[in-house]
Structure 1
Amino acid sequence: MHGVNMENLPPRVCPFEGDASTTEPGPMTRVTLHGGQEVWAASRHADVRAVLTDPAFSADRANPNFPFLGTRRVQQDNGLKPALLTMDPPEHGPARRMVLGEFTVKRLAALGPRIQQIVDDHVDAMLASQDRTADLVPALALPVPSLVICELLGVPYTDHDFFQSRSRTLISRLSTPEQVKAAADDLREYMDKLVTEKEAAPTDDLVGRQIVKRRAEGVEDHDALVSLAVLLLIAGHETTANMISLGALALLRHPDQLAELRADPTKTLGAVDELLREFTITEFVTSRVAVRDTVVGGVAVKAGEGVLTLGNAANHDPDVFENPHQLDIHRGGRNHIAFGYGAHQCIGQNLARVELRIVFDTLFRRVPTLRVTVPVSELSFKDDAAVYGLHSLPVGW
């Protein structure tokens, strides 16, 4: 949690090491961010959900009091129009509904066979290793969701090194403001060119279909579509990629539960939601700033005060989740807030669930002797990034 005074802030739950008992959520707490800004931290499940549904709170990153963990204000520095993540009513509802049809159950079901083919192709390549070893991150975790989001948006996968490197810069808390601005500029210029090409000749992909739909409804906005496409490109591969590697590691460390999934794949979707709850990899995406006085968890929050919503702590709230620090694929329910909550809940959450289900089912079925080849203590976790995960995961079989 780079740039945050940790004295009053619950540390991230890491289910692989140490004692998690210090992560118990508590009442609203004052914390100090980079540059000395004091904000509230909400860590209880009920408090986080209250913040995310109270219209007294704004998601607008352009608000000068918005609680950033670093010194980045990418949108206003780089000419990007507000995307879904940063919009408030009344603009947010219509903008969300405009793209919601791209993530319906019917459309995602149609994507299933293609996702399966992508996963199989990468497992094939991994199994071709002569020494029967691989790094699961570059071999499977990163390329699968990258290919899926590229095909969904209509972005050439041949450019994946370009956008992945810029994405890493954007989500790293160690990046300087200058590095973040340069990375955001690069992505905006790249997507601006791509959208312009598709406006001239719309293609059968998300961006092309959005162009046609917006023209038909008389709401065509080039810059808004560029911002949306940049957001979906980054979110669509970084998040799922990290969940693949973390989820694989967690299941390998719980062989009894993994054996159940191998025996009965119908349990995998439940396991996916439990893994999402366990890791809550985008912990601070849902922070807010109060635009008028309100009360959260019995604490008065004044207009202009920021609130960090600590999703990871909230998803380990013992008042909501029994034995919250234990992985339990039988826990059931989707009352976790790994995808946020309320009007801004992640629009691509079901796509992520489909990808994760297919990856885990395929990987553990086709590589039954898969194992991690280094001690957990030697693995490098992304503690410096806005999206938690693993830098690498060496495996053998």
Structure 2
Amino acid sequence: MVEPAGLAENAVVSFPLLCPWPFAPPSAYLRVQETAPVCPVKTHEGQPWLVTRYADVRAALADPRFSADLRRDGYPVLAPGQREAVAGMPPTMAGMDALEHTVIRRRIQEEFGTRRVRAMEPDIQRIVDAAFDAIETADGGPVDLVKALALPVPSAVICMLLGIPYADHDWFNDRTTAAFRRETSAADRVGIFTELASYLDRRTTTTTKRKPTTMP
């Protein structure tokens, strides 16, 4: 691959990029987007390429020569132990390429179809209303909308989709967050996914029908 014009050898940045301000992209990202929209970046185990402009990202995502499969040799990983963890776990849909992904998607697409989503609307509305009620009854001061709304609402909806009682919500959210945290070791990540898979298997065998999940 030809090096983009304007990119000096010492201009390669480390990735993931540090983001000191949560409401704007990192300054280093904006710099390479402007001067070298396709550029090499340093990770803990290699030097993959970073694509930063919308049209280029769309082209890459639509090109079958690119892969989403973390199991493939050369796939860039962002944290130590991630490759070992992936090798020890079944693949997820996010890490599958077209043919494999299509087969799995067809198995579950009914759960996300228009009829199913419309049937969930009353339960989702109750979850959202409960979140706003909690905000309104909080003891004054500013409200962290991520903790009060953006995190609990989709988390409760996911619990509803998976048939998870809201009583287990905090545990489930804690485990999934830890699983995708870069600092989590390979052994811990495998252990978390094994724990989650065992929990969901037990829920599948003990639950005969899906019950609405609401926020207390």
Partner of 1:144: 153
Closer, same or farther: CA 9–107 of 1 in aligned 2, 3 Å: closer
The one-letter code matched in structure 2 to 1:118 is I
Closer, same or farther: CA 130–41 of 1 in aligned 2, 3 Å: closer
Closer, same or farther: CA 125–81 of 1 in aligned 2, 3 Å: same
**Helix, strand or coil at the partner of 1:85:** helix
Closer, same or farther: CA 75–180 of 1 in aligned 2, 3 Å: same
Count of aligned residue pairs for this structure pair: 195
The one-letter code matched in structure 1 to 2:40 is R
Q: Does the CA-based 8 Å contact 1:10-1:24 persist in structure 2?
A: no
1:84 equivalenced with 2:122 (yes/no): no
Structure 1 residue 182 displacement after superposition: 2.7
Match for 1:38 among 38, 47, 68? 47
Partner of 1:54: 63
State percent identity of aligned pairs. 35
The 5-angstrom pairing of residues 249-328 of structure 1 reads none
Q: Does the CA-based 8 Å contact 1:146-1:157 persist in structure 2?
A: no
The one of the two structures with greater contact order (alpha-carbon pairs below 8 A, sep at least 6) is: 1
Partner of 2:114: 105
TM-score, normalized by length of structure 1? 0.43
Q: Any stretches of 5+ residues in structure 1 without a counterpart?
A: 206-397
Partner of 1:28: 38
1:6 equivalenced with 2:13 (yes/no): yes
Q: Any stretches of 5+ residues in structure 2 without a counterpart?
A: 1-11, 212-216
**Helix, strand or coil at the partner of 2:99:** coil
Q: Does the CA-based 8 Å contact 2:40-2:48 persist in structure 1?
A: yes
**Helix, strand or coil at the partner of 1:30:** strand
**Helix, strand or coil at the partner of 1:34:** coil
TM-score, normalized by length of structure 2? 0.75
Task: Give me the whole-angstrom Cα distance separating, in 2, the residues matched to 1:53 and 1:196.
Answer: 39
The one-letter code matched in structure 1 to 2:60 is V
Match for 2:74 among 65, 74, 80? 65
Root-mean-square deviation over aligned CA pairs: 3.0
Task: Give me the whole-angstrom Cα distance separating, in 1, the residues matched to 2:73 and 2:168.
Answer: 35
Task: Give me the whole-angstrom Cα distance separating, in 2, the residues matched to 1:51 and 1:68.
Answer: 18
How far does the alpha carbon of each residue in 1:192-249 deviate from its partner, in whole angstroms, 9 at most, with x for none? 3223335xx4x247xxxxxxxxxxxxxxxxxxxxxxxxxxxxxxxxxxxxxxxxxxxx
